[in-house]
């Protein structure tokens, strides 16, 4: 037990139940620096070789802006869809017991284990105009494969587990008696969901959205097979980076990567601020 000065005198600092905070903190910082900060710093440093004028020219090029719009737009839309339907899937798994529940629970994790390239090939085959699903949508004038809509489908596929596995444990902690009490007091099902359940799930929903969005923005393997990769239409930013690398334009590739890094950081920062506000507002996760 150590003694530390305080503004109003001296107080005893209780030792941690688990010792070794200084050692583990140092290891954590060193590990994150080596694995995360140094590679990201390398991206920024390499793009800085261009100079501000050349960097700005690449960042504002029409093809770059179009690819960034496709990547971030489809990722945002896919994350929104996953928040809605991922919450429904988590609700079914938590609130109901039915035959095959364990199978459904295991299927949710398949996108984690399945190689993204395999997923992209499978989705392209299914949603192509002659595929199982594509041939049903073709008479309706709906084309999925080789369009931005196909990108959204692929990103929904790879992002669903992030929402389900984030919301599910929080939903399990919500006592059913809370819902029953709301019903006893005359609340409708909609009021129970919107005023009782959603406030408690808001931080988890935002976390799931952030994880699904971050995963989707940088997705490459499952997208290139179903996107069509048409410049200014369905070309994603990661593919444009690969094209720059194949042209040995390393500075241009890192410039686009740096723009993606800055945009992703800004959006995740805003999401974290909203998440922190929701925790303070509703008193969850504090």
- pLDDT, tens digit, 9 for 90 and up, residues 120-149: 999 999 999 888 999 999 888 899 999 999
φ, ψ dihedrals at 3, nearest 5°? -110, 130
Q: Which residue has the tokens 């996108």?
A: 111
Residues of the chain above pLDDT 70, percent: 91
pTM of the model: 0.83
Confidence of residue 286 (pLDDT cuts 50, 70, 90): very low
Instruction: Report pLDDT digits (tens) over 236-267.
Output: 999 999 999 999 888 889 899 999 988 888 88
Residue 189: the pLDDT is 77
Per-residue pLDDT averaged across 3-20, rounded?
55
Residue 130: the pLDDT is 87
Residue 216: the pLDDT is 93
CA 104 to chain centre: 22
The b-or-e profile of 116-139 (16+ CB within 10 A means b, else e) is: beebbebbbbbbbeebebbeebee
């Amino acid at each position: 037990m150590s003694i530390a000065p305080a503004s109003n005198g001296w107080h005893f600092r209780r030792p941690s139940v688990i010792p070794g905070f200084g050692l583990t903190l140092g290891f954590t910082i060193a590990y994150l620096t080596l694995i995360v900060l140094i590679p990201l710093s390398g991206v920024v440093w390499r793009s800085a070789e261009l100079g501000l004028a050349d960097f700005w020219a690449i960042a504002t090029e029409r093809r770059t802006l179009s690819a960034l719009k496709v990547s971030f737009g489809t990722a945002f839309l896919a994350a929104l869809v996953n928040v809605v339907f991922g919450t429904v899937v988590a609700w079914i798994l938590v609130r109901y017991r039915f035959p095959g529940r364990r199978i459904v629970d295991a299927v949710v994790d398949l996108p984690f284990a399945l190689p993204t390239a395999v997923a992209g090939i499978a989705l392209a085959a299914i949603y192509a105009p002659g595929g199982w699903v594509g041939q049903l949508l073709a008479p309706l004038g709906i084309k999925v494969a080789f369009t931005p809509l196909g990108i959204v489908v692929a990103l929904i596929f790879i992002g669903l587990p992030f929402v389900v596995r984030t919301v599910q444990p929080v939903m399990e902690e919500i006592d059913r008696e809370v819902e029953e009490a709301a019903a006893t007091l005359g609340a409708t099902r909609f009021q129970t969901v919107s005023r009782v359940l959603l406030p408690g799930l808001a931080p988890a929903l935002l976390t799931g959205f952030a994880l699904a969005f971050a995963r989707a923005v940088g997705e490459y393997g499952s997208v290139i097979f179903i996107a069509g990769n048409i410049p200014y239409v369905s070309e994603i930013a990661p593919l444009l980076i690969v094209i720059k690398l194949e042209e040995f334009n390393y500075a241009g590739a890192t410039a686009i990567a740096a723009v993606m890094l800055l945009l992703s950081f800004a959006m995740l920062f805003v999401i974290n601020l909203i998440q922190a506000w929701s925790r303070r507002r509703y008193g969850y996760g504090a």
